[in-house]
Structure 1
Amino acid sequence: MRCRLIKPLDIKSFTAIDTDKHRFTPLFDALKLYESQKVTSFDVPGHKRGLDEQSELYYYGSSVLRHDVNSMPQLDNYDNPKGVIKEAQALLADLYLADEAHFLVNGTTEGIQTMIFSICKPGDKLILPRNVHKSVLNAMALADVTPIYVSPEFDIKFGIAHNLSYDHVKAAIDNHPDARAIFIMNPTYFGAVSDLKAITELAHQHDMPVLVDEAHGAHFRFSPHLPISSMEAGADMAATSLHKTGGSFTQSSALLVRGDLIDKRKVKSVINMLTSTSASYLLMSSLDIARKNLALNGPRKFEQLMPVIQTFKQAVNAIPGFHMLDGKAFKELYQQQLDESKLTIYIDSTIDLSGFEVYRLLRSDYNIQMELAEPNLIMGIVSIADNEEVLNRLLNALQSISKLHHQADREVHSPVLKQLAIPEQAMSLREVLYADKRAINIEEALGEICAESLMIYPPGIPIVMAGECISQEIVDYWQFINNQPIIKIGTENSNQVYIIEKRGQ
C-alpha cells in the first residue's frame, strides 16, 4: 500500500504544544523513586508489592506489582491532591487546553456521571442525542433528570446513526429554553462529529453549558486533519477516554473542565463521591505516561498516519463487496465531519457473509481483532500506535475474503432500517428505576409503559426508551425486526418486552 497525501476535507487551526513542559511525568517519576527505595510494606495492597515471588501475579511483571501502591505523602492523595497527582493533572489540563483535568479510574462512565451530577438538579431538563451511551441514561435516572431527546442524522446505506445537526439542536433549545444543559458526543462510536463549535456558541447564548462525551475523541487534539476537540470548540466539560485512542491503560480516563459556567469545587466533590478512595496508581500513572507521549509524539505520528489511513480507505473501496464511509460525501450529506481514524467497513450483499461472520473470520483465519461487528459492518480503531504494516494486514485479509466470498451476480440492497417518532414520555427514568416490572409479549404491549430501553444494532438508536409509551408503530417495528439478522437489546426473549407493572395487574 503506497502512501500518498490526500488533501483533508477540513483543516482546523492548531494550537502548538509546549513540548519542553511535557517532557516530565511527575506521578510516574515519583512511583519509580518509591520503587527504588525498597520500602518494607505494612500497608495495603495485600500482595505487598509482590513480596511472594511464587504468586501467579508475577506473570504481570515485578514492576507492575511494585507500582501497585496506596496513597501516602510521597505519592500524594487522589481525594485532595497537592503534590505529584496535582502536577500531573495540571499538565494534562495544559495539553488539552482545559482549566482543570481530573484523572478518572472508572472510565468515561464516571466522567459522564460527574458531568450530569455536577450540573443538573432533580427535575432539570437535559438536551441530548437519542443514541447516547447507556451510562448517560443511568446517570439521568440516578440524578432524576428529564431527557429532551434529539434524533441524530440517520445513514440509510450503512444503517447507522450519526451525530446531531445544528438545526435540530437549535430547535430543541427553542422548544425547551429552560433546559439546564446540552449533552453531545464528539464523536459518535462510528466517528461522526457535529459542528460542536457552533453548537457550543449557541448553547452559551442561552447560558447552557455543553457537556461532551469524548470517549472516542482523545486523539482529536493532535492533528489539524482531525475534527476539533471539545476544549478547542469551547465546551465546558468533557469526559475523554485516553485509554481508547490515547495509549493509557483500560479504564483510565480524564474529565476536562473549563469556563465560568461550571462550579469546579462541586465537580471535585462529585468525583470524590463516585471514585474509590483507593484509586489505582497504575491507572493514574498510565495517564501521566500517555499524556507525555501524546504531547511529544502525537502530532508527528498523526502527520505520518493520516495519509496512510486515506490510502487504506481508497484501497478498501476498490475491493469488491467492501465500502468505507467517505469523508467528502459524508460532509455533503450530513453537514458533519468524519473522524478518519475510524475504519467503518460496510459489507454489501455481494459478499456471502454477514458482518459477524467477517469479524469471526478475520480473527480465526487472519489473526486480526476488530473493534466490533454488526449485521452489515465491521469497525476498527486506529491509534498512534498503528502503522502502515498493520493496516496492510487488514487490507490483505479483506482482499482475500473478497476473492473467496464475493459473488458478483448477487443483488445489492441496503439494510431495511428506519427512524421512528420519539414516543411519549410517561414516567421519568428515576421512577422507572424503582418501579416493579414484568415481561409480556410485544403484541400485548400496546399502550403500556416500557420499563427498559429497546434498541437494535445498528443503528443503536433506541426504538423506545424506559418510561416511554409503546405505540402501535413500535409494536409493528419490533415484530418486523425479530425476523431480521439484527442484534436486539431488551429482554432475553426478543418477542417480549418489560413493562411497568401497574397496581392491580
Structure 2
Amino acid sequence: MAPCLKVLVIDHNQTRLASTKQYLESVMHSLDRDDLTLAIVTASSADDATTELYSDGDIQAALLSWETEESLSHDESVIDAIKAIRHELPVYVTAEDDIGFDIVKRSSRIEAFFAVNEIAADPESALAYIVNDFDDRSETPFWTAYKKYAVETNDSWHTPGHSGGASFRGSSYINDFYKFFGRNMFISDLSVSVDSLGSLSDGTNAIGKAQNLVASTFEVNHSYFVTNGSSTSNKIILQTLLREGDKVIVDRNCHKSVHYGMVQARALPLYLDSILDPKYGIFAPPSLGQLKTMIDENPDAKLIVLTGCTYDGLLTDLRQVVEYAHQHGIKVFIDEAWFAYSLFHPQFRQYSAINAGADYVTHSAHKVVSAFSQASYIHVNDPDFDKDFFKEIYAIHTSTSPQYQLIASLDVCRKQLEMEGFKIINNLLRHVQELKEQAEKFTRVRILDADDFKQMFSHFESDNIGHDPLKILIDISALSYSNQEIHRFLMDEVGLEIEKFTHSTLLVLLTFGGMRSKIVRLFNALNKLDAGHVSLRKSNRQKALPVAIPPIHLATLPSDAFFGKRELVELKNSVGRTAAALITPYPPGIPLLVPGQKIEQAHLDYLDALSSQKLTIQGLHDGEVYVIENEE
C-alpha cells in the first residue's frame, strides 16, 4: 500500500479553498508518483484547522493562504497554533509576492513561501516542493542502505564467523537456532567492514545521515546512537562533563547508571532528598525549593542530573529547573528514558526536557517507543559541547562491533515518531481514558490520577508536577490477596506481564505497541480481581512503607570508596562502616546506600521493613555488604 501525503489546506476564502484543493489533486497526476497518494483536507479558520489536526493524525503538511499584509498577526497565530499541536509538521505559505519578506520575517516556523504568481506560472512547483520534503522526512538512510546490502547476498570473507547463518544451517546441533530466527536475521548480521553503511564510533556515511535526521526530528544540535542502552548513554554524558571532585547536584531517585557514572567520573554528588508516599510506595520528583537552595549553596556545581519522567509517570516542570540552573552557569542533564515521545504531543511537550532547553537528554528508544532493546539516543543542545572529548568517551563505551539491527531500529524509530508519533499518542490517550471511564465502576481497584498525587505530595501543585497517563498506576491496596497471588493470576491465568509491583500498586505501561484489545484484556483481568471472581488465597497486605529513605551523608568521595580496598561484613554488623557499593532495593530501584555513605541503623530498619515484600536487594550478598576495609 502506497503511503499517503495528506495536506491540510487553510484558507478563509471558500471559493479559493475549493480551487486550491482541485489544483493540488490535478497537479499530483503530473508528478508521476505511483508510489505516493495525495489526500486534501480543508479548513476555513484557525479553529477548524486545529480541530482537523487533533482528529486526523495522518496529516503530513499544512498549506496556509496568507491573505494580506493586514492579516499578518492573525496568520502568524495560525502557524503557532499548528506548531503547538504538531511541532514536526511543515507549514507552507502562499501569498502575493510583495508581502513575502514580511511573512517570513514574522515567523521562523515557515517551511517555504510560494508566491501566487509563481504557482500560476509553474503549477507543479509548490506540490513538488511539499512532496520532496515529505520524502526527506520519511527517509531512513541507514535502514534503506542496510536492507539493500543485506539482500544482495555477498560472499562473506570477514566477520561474523557464522557467514550469514551458514555455520548454523549446516549444524545438526544448533540449526534450530537458525530456523527460529529465520534467514533475514542472519544475513543482516554484518561486519563493521561494510564501509558504505558507516562507522558508529565515527558517525560516518549512512549512520551519520541517520543520526542527523534524528537531531532534526528532535530539534537538537546533535544526536547519537547508543547500542548498549541508556545506562551507557548516561555514563557517556557524565564522563564527558565531569572531572574528579566536580560537584554535581543529582536526584537520589536517578537510575543506578547515573550513580555508577558519577563513580566512574570521580565526581562529588550532592543528593536531593527522596520524597516517598508510604501508602503506595511511590517516589515523587525532588522539590524545586530544595533544588534551588542546593544551587544557591553550591554555585560551583558543574551539573544537575534529574529524571524527567519517573517510573510511575510523574513529571518535573523542567523549564523552571533549566532557567534557574542556566542563570547560575550550571548545565542540565535529563534522563528521559521513559518519556521518549515527550515532544510529539501537546499534552506532554511542556514537560519535555528538550522543549525546556536541557543541555543533554537521553532516551531509551526501546522502553516506550519502537526500537529494539538496548537501543538509545543521546541528544545534545549544549552551546559549549566539547564534541572531540565526547567522541573519546563515546569510543570508550561503544563496541567496535555494534549490532546493525539495533542501529536500524533507531533509524526507523525516528521515522515513526516524525511521521505518526502524534497519531499514535493520541490513540493511546483515548484508550487509557476509556479504560478509566470503564474502571469507575470498580469498588476495590482504582486507577490513580493527578488528584491522587496531589494528596500524596504537598509540592505536586506548587511545583507544577505533571503525570503521564500512559503509565497506568493501579491501586490494589483494597484487595485481600497477596502480591504474589495477584502476580500469578495475571501472568499464569490471564497472560498479562506487569511492568512493576509495589505492596499496593500495579504499574502498566501503555507503549507504542499498545492496542485497544490489550486494554480490554487488562480491564477484564481487573474486573475479575475487583469482583472477587478469582480463586486466590487471601492474606494480610502490608499497609505502608517506612516514611522515607534515610538521607545520604557522604563520608568520602564515592569513587574512593568504590575503587578502594573493601571487605564483606554481615549487614547486622555494618552500622558505622562506610559502604563500598550500591545497595538498591528493586523495585523501584532507588539506592538506599551509595559508595562513600555511612551506614546507619535507619538503613537496616528500612531493609527490614521491606523484607515482607520479597524484593530483590541488589548489592546485598547472602546477608553481607561491602564496606571500606580496615576503617579507623
Letter in 2 for 1:386: G
- Aligned-pair CA distance for 1:315: 3.2
Choose which of 387, 407, 418 in structure 2 pairs with 1:284: 407
Letter in 2 for 1:499: V
Q: Relative to total residues, which structure has the larger helix share, 1 or 2?
A: 2
1:16 aligns with 2:137: no
- Aligned-pair CA distance for 1:172: 1.2
- Aligned-pair CA distance for 1:236: 0.7
1:441-478 CA distance string (max 9 Å, x none):
44433321122333445554433322111224334444
| In 2: Cα distance, 1:79 partner to 1:33 partner | 22
In structure 1, the residue matched to 2:268 is: 146
- Aligned-pair CA distance for 1:96: 1.0
1:4-32 CA distance string (max 9 Å, x none):
x9xxxxx9944233472321111011012
Long gaps (5+) in structure 1: 6-10
Choose which of 364, 367, 372 in structure 2 pairs with 1:249: 372
- Aligned-pair CA distance for 1:79: 2.1
* 323-332 vs 136-145, which moves further: 323-332
In structure 1, the residue matched to 2:398 is: 275
1:198–1:331 distance in 2 versus 1, CA, 3 Å: farther
SS at match of 2:355: coil
| In 2: Cα distance, 1:438 partner to 1:385 partner | 46
In structure 1, the residue matched to 2:416 is: 293
- Aligned-pair CA distance for 1:250: 0.5
Letter in 1 for 2:264: L
Letter in 2 for 1:17: L
- Aligned-pair CA distance for 1:68: 1.3
In structure 2, the residue matched to 1:61 is: 182
1:215 aligns with 2:215: no
CA contact (8 A) 1:331 1:338 kept: no
CA contact (8 A) 1:355 1:378 kept: no
1:244-276 CA distance string (max 9 Å, x none):
111011111110111313222322221122100
| In 2: Cα distance, 1:207 partner to 1:304 partner | 41
Choose which of 544, 547, 565 in structure 2 pairs with 1:418: 547
| In 2: Cα distance, 1:142 partner to 1:63 partner | 39
SS at match of 1:77: coil
| Sequence identity percentage | 28
| In 2: Cα distance, 1:32 partner to 1:175 partner | 54
1:29-64 CA distance string (max 9 Å, x none):
101221232211101111112235343224212112
The structure with higher relative contact order (CA 8 Å, sep 6+) is: 1
Give matches, 1:17-32, under 5 Å: 17-18=89-90, 20=134, 21-32=136-147
In structure 2, the residue matched to 1:122 is: 244
TM-score (norm 2): 0.73
SS at match of 1:243: coil
1:276–1:485 distance in 2 versus 1, CA, 3 Å: closer
| In 1: Cα distance, 2:231 partner to 2:609 partner | 33
- Aligned-pair CA distance for 1:413: 7.6
CA contact (8 A) 1:191 1:342 kept: yes
1:23–1:401 distance in 2 versus 1, CA, 3 Å: same
| In 2: Cα distance, 1:484 partner to 1:394 partner | 24
Letter in 2 for 1:431: D
| In 1: Cα distance, 2:498 partner to 2:613 partner | 23
1:361 aligns with 2:489: yes
Letter in 2 for 1:376: S
Letter in 2 for 1:462: P
- Aligned-pair CA distance for 1:74: 1.6
In structure 2, the residue matched to 1:500 is: 628
| In 1: Cα distance, 2:441 partner to 2:483 partner | 18
- Aligned-pair CA distance for 1:484: 5.9
1:323-380 CA distance string (max 9 Å, x none):
22212443574231111111122211x3122334322221100011111223222212
| In 2: Cα distance, 1:40 partner to 1:420 partner | 59
CA contact (8 A) 1:132 1:185 kept: yes
Choose which of 157, 177, 181 in structure 2 pairs with 1:42: 157
1:254–1:132 distance in 2 versus 1, CA, 3 Å: same
Letter in 1 for 2:88: A
* 93-102 vs 464-473, which moves further: 464-473
Which of the two has higher C-alpha Rg?
2
In structure 2, the residue matched to 1:470 is: 599
In structure 1, the residue matched to 2:579 is: 450
In structure 2, the residue matched to 1:8 is: none
Letter in 1 for 2:516: E
CA contact (8 A) 1:226 1:340 kept: no
1:68–1:459 distance in 2 versus 1, CA, 3 Å: closer
Choose which of 506, 512, 518 in structure 2 pairs with 1:390: 518
1:217–1:484 distance in 2 versus 1, CA, 3 Å: closer
CA contact (8 A) 1:155 1:161 kept: yes
1:16–1:262 distance in 2 versus 1, CA, 3 Å: same
Give matches, 1:372-391, under 5 Å: 372-391=500-519
CA contact (8 A) 1:375 1:486 kept: no
In structure 1, the residue matched to 2:383 is: 260
Letter in 2 for 1:29: T
- Aligned-pair CA distance for 1:425: 0.7
SS at match of 1:303: helix
1:372–1:483 distance in 2 versus 1, CA, 3 Å: closer
1:502–1:13 distance in 2 versus 1, CA, 3 Å: farther
CA contact (8 A) 2:244 2:267 kept: yes
Letter in 2 for 1:343: I
1:106 aligns with 2:228: yes
SS at match of 1:462: coil
| In 1: Cα distance, 2:437 partner to 2:398 partner | 45
1:75–1:363 distance in 2 versus 1, CA, 3 Å: same
SS at match of 1:499: strand
* 69-78 vs 233-242, which moves further: 69-78
Choose which of 412, 433, 438 in structure 1 pairs with 2:567: 438
| In 2: Cα distance, 1:234 partner to 1:442 partner | 44
| In 2: Cα distance, 1:360 partner to 1:175 partner | 49
1:402–1:221 distance in 2 versus 1, CA, 3 Å: same
Letter in 1 for 2:271: Y
- Aligned-pair CA distance for 1:317: 5.0
Letter in 1 for 2:287: S
1:190-247 CA distance string (max 9 Å, x none):
1111111110111111111111111111111221122532211101111111111110
